[in-house]
Structure 1
């Protein structure tokens, strides 16, 4: 038996203690410190164990106060006292051990976005991982099977909007790009309002729901529509019950990069090459990224290296990550600017020293012209938007679940405007890179093509050598002085290249084994902006929660976006192929922008087990129902979830909201109150003058679909009103009369209400609203009792308006309206 050399063991222990660890230094810089290696790990190294390190973090989640905008202190949630949370830095092959300490007074959670890990560690409360109770600690342990740029965030209610997000940086075993420094940039959006109030505002069905649009200067009022020549276009849309266009639901008080509006990177020397890792950690904002120094070299998407491409501008969807190579300029500080998609604000990073050189401004969107705006929203998939008159229907279940179909082709029933080639053009590395630098409208397919090579079909993310994938095709970028064309092109160059997904090309073939079973699912992204309900196949999560798949299958999702909003769709625990123009070299991603009125195909290997979350990563869309559970047939929930029932997750889109208004005017008072969720609503409407006359109704209604809801209620009234049509006064009195009826939203968003009381008296009523000026609305109501109400409202603030007009019962008057 070989004797243990204790001197050698002691030597390695001492070496570990005194050596300078750059990763640890980086941890300390960001406020999170890994513990010293244990004696057992040092002994493992002494006897030649080749396993990666165990890197340990402690994350403390705690309430804090911040001042990001308008010199106003607001509540936030921080990790280790900072927003964004500390950078968690590892090397591929390490084992992560992360303790999350919940110092809040309510539950929290942590999801490791984009990481391939055991299901129980994924961090979706009540689905994969138990929530972290107040005062509790959760220990996450998982091996790091990949490298790249990722991030982590809370998956509990709206905590992510409050500041619970941070970067993850995983170094490869062998670097594929030689750089002097690495820079992590986490983009985010900030509102001084409570996120719950933001969500409630979006759910309101009154002028307050337009307040964010008004603040951004994008009011779809009559004067603006006429001025932009789009009035008849708006009439056409309103006839179809399509709400006014907007690029973003929320008005944000600030856009931040690493928690700041402006970041100075003057510490880097001219000529040094930076690997800039950009994470869109926003709650609901897409960002345009452009650089004053010219083209940026894009080298990785969602953590995985891709064939390098040189671009000027990119639209980064919520939760996506991209890596870029940028050389520090020799003269001036060049701006790297992240502009919100609706161009309502930006955050800036200045690279270099000297005079500040601004990036090119992003043109404000023409929100009053739907066609122009749709082009801006579909930049990631140019040319794929379905034009008016095309088939917007969905496929039948028998068609979309049929197995054995060619995964390289688009289903003809989807009416796709493009077909996906099965093979990548046969070009050299140099020609291929040059090809990818060209803009989409200049790209031409080479007539020569490779024969399909099935020698390496199976790209299972657990089994494939990630480093080999990232290394191939990067020989020209390995050295910082490699002779690559200078990416610092002159500002104002007319050769602007705008990124789109068809430019993304994997470094190796990613196609799956054609012998594996294939299953297709058609998922239509649906929603009702009028009611702010977001869904898949017209059902929210709580109504159709599960997509059943079989382990071993190749699963294809056809994502058809029938809404007028972008949706960044994220699949937990998997990477999927985005079937683009590169065929067998289609890239892997974990989050994908699906633009309005487009259809996109993705596919993945079903090689995991249990349940995984699939959802839109716009926080307020997910919380309103646009998500599903991807369930592996035959698998069972982890026993650790026995006290964490799934119903708590399903209840998120069943959340109840309350809002209303109270108007005090010279001739009458009005009260409206609403308590509602996705399918149910309790309503109270009451009005009265100051002589004892009143009318009040309380009702419960049930939404059968987006527009129709039957109701039951009680109506009471005592009133005397003047009818200008017959110049007579009428007196009427009833008490607590049960009524049955239905309400239906007509074209132009006119609300129809038909009811009958216990005496058999039928009443029909129409009610509508016209947006006249950015802050002025005209409201009207008329019924078959010959009553009518006309009112002008001018918004002074989100919750305060001037209101005045004429009521057939109470005559003229005006006053103040307060919303609650």
Structure 2
């Protein structure tokens, strides 16, 4: 009897030891752990996979990332970014998301994962939101492997820090490596994201504040000095706003929540699989390496034919995997630079002396042609559209424009502290290139089992997903780089169709989508019915309203598809911004020059003035989200619901009405200004959303003269809006045309009229009052210097107003000028 008890005690001890060991293996270090956070659990299950459990606690916090300023943020388990969720293909994920935010609901979307619709995490569409104090249990099998991420899909919480990596190991490695390295790129602003959104939606000089801070003001002096004045005049005639590569000024760019990190813990010669996630809210990143070319082996979680590149532009929400070998002679910089080159974040691979990556040239935002080169690098040569949508360049003929890669002046890596250059002989820290070549030959002869990327036919649209690695060449060596004196033939970039540039090549290779080639054919059964939808990506940068087919999400019908079809989306971008379009619940083929071997992705960059076609198998059910992954574009309306005909909403959404999702692009904003000057005061206030606006305009002097108008207007399209309002005035003014002094007192109820935006963004206002008196008015603005604006207004009552404004800060300006009624004066203008 005693022996049996002893045996039981021993067995229990072994079980506890095993559970402790497993728990430790799946617990990720965290400096700021939540005290009551249960350990991550991994339980053995029947079959090949395991059940892996995580608890994620979403809570308010404060951070200090830039300018020594403490600001509010959102953390998961006390950290930003959120913890890395690590699994193996075939596991079952059980994730508890606890909402500890005081006043706000939250959500979690598992970006790129193929899972049951109810687990997708889009509040009110696929998954109920998580209320304050609530908890949501997500359970889904992991049918894939690769690099993915998760983030909030509630309002602007992603910008505040609610995002984290997902790493799913394959059952069998497709590339021999020593270590996995996950790098999550992000952008950070010290402003409240709601204030950022409101700033973008305003229609006054404050909306240009981010451009001014980046040094890209499209003021008159800059246009003249860059020889772009007449080009800007042509653009303004078509009502195209001043150009920029990105909307927001960010205070910091981060990798894994830091300005820079070093990977000195790895030994020289170690082979790293560097998994790069662009988890930013609205930033495209250039990635380049101080040690030469890097080896790209996977896109959006799926292995592709390996290619060697020098630079890649990674769109928001995309992921790419690279092979890099740790060097033996120093620490080489892997640098992520935002597309507008307004900062950077760095990872140093190796230890010892530091060698910098080459600088990305600053964009010439004053030159349209050069800007387009920067923005269309992922699809060079495709910019052939003759016209653009409102808010863009209409009737612009871009045929024949050179869309090749940009030249980079600084191609030789620079040491941080000394003048020593990185070696040009591509030493490999002991790695044998001949060995890689032999490995490649063997791979081409022997087909391996790469079940790590093998998915069911339903999951990947009836495609074969057994991916055969064709190249295991490590690609972090100190490759020989083109010297400044060498001329690089950028025309090759548009011709690359999966062709690999040799690791020893000295030509600079800038990545584009035509280089992405699937390992096996991705085509569909030809007998399946096919349907194409033409989706035009539209927008009005002047009003900051983004849409598809000129309708925001809340105004549009769903995209109805039938199960069993092959669905094509032809995405035509008529705007002057890049749009990373993401489809939930599916992978799609990005049709490129590789034809049958076109790659599979879940997010695709659609550059300005290009047309991109994607296609997928409609083998899912229910409703899925399709949207631009630039957070502020999505929130402004650039989204659609993909609806499977005949499907019904899950009963779990009974208390989560779909109309709540539409509130995002119907959001109301308030902005305005108050000027106190020596000769008069002015008040302007606007309360508006995408289609409606209430306006208050009033001015007065200090002798009892005033004019005030309140109106409601409705946007019929981007430029025309009729209105109804009330106007009152009591004023004396000097008519400079006849030298007479006029006094008038009137109360006009009501006033009917319309406002229309003319070329050059001149606002026309025609109104008639209840007495039949008609008045027309024109007003406009000229950007003179980076912080100086000239405003003017004239009407048919022979009144006019001239004003110079100099911005001291985003919300404070000096203002001075002349008014025909109130004469000269100046003072301060405060914005709210």
Give the match's secondary structure for 1:653: coil
Please say if residues 756 and 763 of structure 2, whose CA atoms lie closer than 8 Å, have aligned partners that are also in contact.
yes
> Offset at 1:662?
0.2
Structure 2 CA distance, aligned partners of 1:498 and 1:37?
Answer: 42
Structure 1 residues 159-174: aligned runs within 5 Å: 159-174=157-172
Picking from 614, 624, 647, the partner of 2:636 is: 624
**Which residue is equivalent to 2:73?**
76
**Which residue is equivalent to 2:802?**
790
Cα 1:757–1:465 shift into 2, 3 Å? closer
> Offset at 1:466?
7.8
Give the match's secondary structure for 2:663: helix
Structure 1 CA distance, aligned partners of 2:54 and 2:516?
Answer: 34
**Which residue is equivalent to 1:151?**
149
> Offset at 1:30?
9.3
Picking from 603, 610, 614, the partner of 1:598 is: 610
Q: How many residues align?
A: 748
> Offset at 1:460?
4.4
Q: What are structure 1's unaligned runs of at least 5 residues?
A: 395-413, 419-428, 435-455
> Offset at 1:391?
6.0
**Mean alpha-carbon deviation: is it higher for 351-360 or for 217-226?**
351-360
Structure 1 residues 179-578: aligned runs within 5 Å: 179-386=177-384, 390=386, 460-462=458-460, 468-469=466-467, 472-474=468-470, 476-477=471-472, 487-492=477-482, 494-578=506-590
Please say if residues 457 and 513 of structure 1, whose CA atoms lie closer than 8 Å, have aligned partners that are also in contact.
no
1:579 aligns with 2:591: yes
Please say if residues 173 and 467 of structure 1, whose CA atoms lie closer than 8 Å, have aligned partners that are also in contact.
no
Cα deviation code 1:701-757 (max 9, x no counterpart): 000000000000000000000111111111111024310000000000000000000
Picking from 51, 55, 62, the partner of 1:54 is: 51
RMSD: 2.6
Cα 1:617–1:730 shift into 2, 3 Å? same
Cα 1:294–1:10 shift into 2, 3 Å? same
Give the match's secondary structure for 2:621: coil
**Which residue is equivalent to 2:108?**
110
Cα deviation code 1:258-301 (max 9, x no counterpart): 00001111111111111100000000000000000000100000
> Offset at 1:24?
1.3
Cα deviation code 1:666-715 (max 9, x no counterpart): 00000000000000000000000000000000000000000000000000
Please say if residues 23 and 89 of structure 1, whose CA atoms lie closer than 8 Å, have aligned partners that are also in contact.
no
Structure 2 CA distance, aligned partners of 1:21 and 1:240?
Answer: 62
Structure 1 CA distance, aligned partners of 2:136 and 2:574?
Answer: 40
**Which residue is equivalent to 1:451?**
none
> Offset at 1:432?
15
Structure 2 CA distance, aligned partners of 1:8 and 1:524?
Answer: 68
Structure 2 CA distance, aligned partners of 1:535 and 1:463?
Answer: 28
> Offset at 1:353?
1.0
Q: What are structure 2's unaligned runs of at least 5 residues?
A: 1-6, 391-397, 403-435, 442-453, 484-505
Picking from 785, 801, 826, the partner of 1:814 is: 826
Structure 2 CA distance, aligned partners of 1:524 and 1:130?
Answer: 30
Cα 1:20–1:155 shift into 2, 3 Å? closer
Cα 1:486–1:619 shift into 2, 3 Å? closer
Structure 2 CA distance, aligned partners of 1:120 and 1:652?
Answer: 21
Give the match's secondary structure for 2:524: coil
Structure 1 CA distance, aligned partners of 2:356 and 2:303?
Answer: 29
Structure 2 CA distance, aligned partners of 1:644 and 1:284?
Answer: 28
**Which residue is equivalent to 2:668?**
656
Please say if residues 699 and 706 of structure 2, whose CA atoms lie closer than 8 Å, have aligned partners that are also in contact.
yes
Cα 1:430–1:460 shift into 2, 3 Å? farther
Structure 1-normalised TM-score? 0.88
Please say if residues 84 and 164 of structure 1, whose CA atoms lie closer than 8 Å, have aligned partners that are also in contact.
yes
Cα deviation code 1:148-191 (max 9, x no counterpart): 00000000000000000000000000011111111100000000
Give the match's secondary structure for 1:654: coil
Cα 1:684–1:29 shift into 2, 3 Å? closer
Please say if residues 457 and 512 of structure 1, whose CA atoms lie closer than 8 Å, have aligned partners that are also in contact.
no
Give the match's secondary structure for 1:652: coil
Picking from 749, 756, 764, the partner of 1:752 is: 764
Cα deviation code 1:569-597 (max 9, x no counterpart): 00000000000000000000000000000
Picking from 97, 101, 109, the partner of 1:100 is: 97
Give the match's secondary structure for 1:379: coil
**Which residue is equivalent to 2:678?**
666
Cα 1:292–1:722 shift into 2, 3 Å? same
> Offset at 1:461?
3.1
Please say if residues 22 and 42 of structure 2, whose CA atoms lie closer than 8 Å, have aligned partners that are also in contact.
no
Cα deviation code 1:457-502 (max 9, x no counterpart): 9964358798732xx033x41xxxx6x6774213555511100000
Please say if residues 577 and 587 of structure 1, whose CA atoms lie closer than 8 Å, have aligned partners that are also in contact.
yes
Structure 2 CA distance, aligned partners of 1:813 and 1:367?
Answer: 36
Structure 2-normalised TM-score? 0.87
Cα 1:171–1:714 shift into 2, 3 Å? same
Please say if residues 30 and 87 of structure 1, whose CA atoms lie closer than 8 Å, have aligned partners that are also in contact.
no
Structure 2 CA distance, aligned partners of 1:485 and 1:168?
Answer: 24
**Mean alpha-carbon deviation: is it higher for 488-497 or for 358-367?**
488-497
> Offset at 1:386?
2.0
